[in-house]
């Protein structure tokens, strides 16, 4: 991997030059640990101070998944319900007039998945991180919040996550910053992660920059406040890698004891589709992957690297992106200190590089029921009589296609392919999978779905000849 890491460093350096980004810190997480850090450029142009692997950056909307995780931890404790109207947890919201008289009430779930109907507010939200509680109350009382009725469409809303911060405060009985710190950050050992950017700036900190009329200047450092739950965190590569490793550890589902601040199933739930799907804009001429928002994470189906969960971040002075490949155990993240630096354009390329170097994972072992079913079908093929496998059939199989027709099918396949032997079984899960037989004149591919009976039997069986 040493050569690959050198290539990744070079790619980030080229990217920083192309997009005029003063400094970048980026990481690769693999098999539960931070295996590589890229640190290049300047953390502070005025002082000429370079970035280091320990430099802290603001990560903007990458904060949202941590806020979502904190909300879900309260749900797991039975302290709130996602489909309860928001007004139960934020009483001031009860006075907010709905966009139409037939609108459903805004719920916590709506806020988590950006379907509350609020107008999208990226530039505005980025400048009001330090809003006071009283100012948020006034906004609820007097603001024009809605673009549409709740529940109908995905529309990204920073205000929605600011209100989730208020939910955390009201339900937990402590400021949301303290609750997030106690519930997520401290258990994961994220000691240099904070909502207070001014505190972070007292150490090794990347100052946000902008470039106007050929000159660099520092962006105003937005203070912590009532809106920070949507994008206020500052962190380091080492800290953020702990969070990424924790998220990736939720896959695959298994029987191991739980060890994280929230359950593995809750983490997996964050990356499911909870909002209507959308098609992002193409990047560098590449067709976009179909995507949908979960809870603080976007879920996308990628033809090259499999399913990915990701989220970008942007604030005045900063741009960032994180990307998880749950099926491969790979996490990529990158921080830049220029306003809205488009880090998602490079993290995907880095993920593809790391993914390509992954050793092939051993296929999952088939369940005893699936193995038994496949072996019975192989024996039936050898005998030319489907009845040989009847002991592993569900009650519907020979009613749906009588044995006489199944035997005609077996005879035709065997005449074409000749004798064969079982080559492989590839499970989808315990009750579904495919198998391949290597035959004299090609291959036989079969697909099996088992029934939910106490002794699972074959409810669906398809056989197909494949030429050699």
Asked if 315 and 283 touch (Cβ cutoff 8 Å), the reply is no
What local confidence, expressed as pLDDT, does residue 398 receive?
97
The residues pairing with 424 across neighbouring beta strands, listed in sequence order, are 436
What local confidence, expressed as pLDDT, does residue 467 receive?
75
Task: Give the up-direction half-sphere exposure of residue 296: CA atoms within 13 A in the CB hemisphere.
Answer: 26
Sequence-ordered alpha helix ranges (H) in 155-236: 158-172, 176-180, 197-200
Cα–Cα distance, 27 to 243 (Å, whole number): 12
What local confidence, expressed as pLDDT, does residue 239 receive?
98
Question: With the C-alpha atoms ordered 262, 266, 271, 275, is the resulting torsion angle positive or negative?
Answer: negative
Q: DSSP state, 366?
A: P
Location of structure tokens 């035997």: 407
CA of residue 54 relative to chain centroid, distance: 25
What local confidence, expressed as pLDDT, does residue 427 receive?
96
Q: DSSP state, 336?
A: E
The shares of helix, strand and coil residues in the chain, as percent rounded to the nearest 5, are 35, 25, 40
Asked if 388 and 452 touch (Cβ cutoff 8 Å), the reply is no
Strands (E), 161-276: 209-212, 215-218, 234-235
What local confidence, expressed as pLDDT, does residue 360 receive?
65
User: Distance of CA 3 to CAs 285, 328, 330, Å?
Assistant: 27, 20, 18
Give the length of the chain.
Answer: 468
Instruction: Go through the domains of the chain in sequence order and give each one's CATH number.
Output: 1-361 (3.40.710.10), 368-467 (3.10.450.50)
Strands (E), 159-305: 209-212, 215-218, 234-235, 291-293, 298-302
Tell me the two tokens of residue 290: 């179909």
Tell me the two tokens of residue 393: 């059939």
Task: Give the up-direction half-sphere exposure of residue 150: CA atoms within 13 A in the CB hemisphere.
Answer: 22
CA of residue 418 relative to chain centroid, distance: 46
What local confidence, expressed as pLDDT, does residue 76 receive?
97
Cα–Cα distance, 266 to 76 (Å, whole number): 8
CA of residue 462 relative to chain centroid, distance: 34
Strands (E), 158-297: 209-212, 215-218, 234-235, 291-293
Asked if 211 and 41 touch (Cβ cutoff 8 Å), the reply is no
What local confidence, expressed as pLDDT, does residue 282 receive?
74
Please provide the DSSP assignment of 133-151 as one string: HHHHHHHHHH---BSS-TT
CA of residue 363 relative to chain centroid, distance: 23
What local confidence, expressed as pLDDT, does residue 274 receive?
78
What local confidence, expressed as pLDDT, does residue 278 receive?
77
The residues pairing with 34 across neighbouring beta strands, listed in sequence order, are 29
Cα–Cα distance, 165 to 157 (Å, whole number): 13
The residues pairing with 146 across neighbouring beta strands, listed in sequence order, are 118
Local confidence pLDDT in tens for the 468 residues of the chain: 778 999 999 999 999 999 999 999 999 999 999 999 999 999 999 999 999 999 999 999 999 999 999 999 999 999 999 999 999 999 999 999 999 999 999 999 999 999 999 999 999 999 999 999 999 999 999 999 999 999 999 999 999 999 999 999 999 999 999 999 999 999 999 999 999 999 999 999 999 999 999 999 999 999 999 999 999 999 999 999 999 999 999 999 999 999 899 999 999 999 887 777 777 777 666 777 778 999 999 999 887 888 999 999 999 999 999 999 998 999 999 999 999 999 999 999 999 999 988 776 677 899 999 999 999 999 999 999 999 999 999 999 999 999 999 999 999 999 999 999 999 999 999 999 999 999 999 999 999 999 999 999 999 999 999 976
User: Distance of CA 290 to CAs 11, 308, 386, 409, Å?
Assistant: 26, 11, 42, 39
């Amino acid at each position: 991997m040493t050569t690959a890491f050198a290539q990744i460093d070079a790619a980030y350096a080229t990217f920083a030059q192309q997009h005029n980004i003063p400094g970048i810190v980026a990481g690769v997480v693999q098999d539960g640990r931070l295996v590589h850090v890229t640190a290049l450029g300047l953390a502070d142009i005025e002082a000429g101070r370079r970035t280091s692997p320990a430099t802290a950056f603001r990560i903007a909307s990458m904060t949202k998944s941590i806020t979502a995780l904190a909300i879900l931890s309260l749900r797991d404790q039975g302290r709130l319900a996602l489909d309860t109207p928001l007004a139960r947890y934020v009483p001031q919201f009860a006075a907010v007039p709905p966009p139409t008289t037939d609108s459903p009430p805004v719920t916590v779930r709506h806020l988590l998945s950006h379907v509350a109907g609020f107008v999208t507010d990226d530039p505005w939200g980025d400048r009001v991180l330090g809003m006071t509680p009283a100012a948020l109350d006034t906004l609820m009382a007097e603001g024009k919040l809605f673009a549409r009725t709740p529940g109908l469409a995905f529309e990204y809303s920073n205000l929605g996550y600011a209100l989730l911060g208020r939910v955390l405060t009201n339900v937990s009985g402590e400021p949301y910053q303290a609750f997030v710190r106690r519930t997520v950050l401290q258990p994961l050992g994220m000691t240099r992660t904070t909502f207070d950017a001014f505190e972070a700036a007292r150490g090794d900190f990347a100052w946000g920059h902008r470039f106007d009329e050929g000159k660099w200047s520092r962006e105003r450092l937005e203070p912590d406040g009532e809106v920070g739950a949507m994008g206020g965190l500052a962190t380091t590569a080492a800290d953020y890698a702990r969070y990424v490793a924790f998220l990736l550890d939720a896959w695959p589902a298994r029987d191991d004891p739980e060890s994280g601040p929230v359950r593995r199933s809750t983490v997996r739930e964050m990356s499911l589709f909870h909002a209507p799907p959308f098609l992002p804009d193409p990047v560098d001429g590449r067709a976009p992957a179909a995507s949908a928002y979960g809870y603080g994470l976007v879920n996308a189906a990628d033809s090259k690297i499999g399913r990915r969960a990701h989220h970008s971040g942007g604030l005045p002075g900063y741009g960032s992106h994180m990307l998880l490949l749950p099926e491969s155990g790979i996490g990529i993240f990158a921080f830049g200190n220029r306003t809205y630096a488009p880090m998602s354009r490079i993290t995907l390329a880095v993920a593809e590089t790391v993914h390509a170097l992954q050793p092939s994972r051993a296929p999952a072992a088939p369940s005893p029921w699936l193995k038994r079913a496949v072996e019975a079908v192989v024996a039936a093929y050898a005998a030319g009589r489907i009845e040989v496998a009847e002991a592993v059939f569900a009650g519907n199989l020979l009613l749906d296609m009588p044995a006489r027709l199944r035997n005609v099918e077996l005879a035709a396949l065997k005449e074409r392919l000749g004798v064969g032997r079982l080559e492989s079984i590839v499970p989808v899960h315990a009750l579904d999978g495919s198998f391949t037989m290597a035959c004299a004149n090609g291959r036989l591919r079969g697909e099996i779905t088992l029934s939910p009976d106490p002794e699972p039997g074959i409810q669906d069986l398809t056989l197909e000849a494949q030429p050699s």
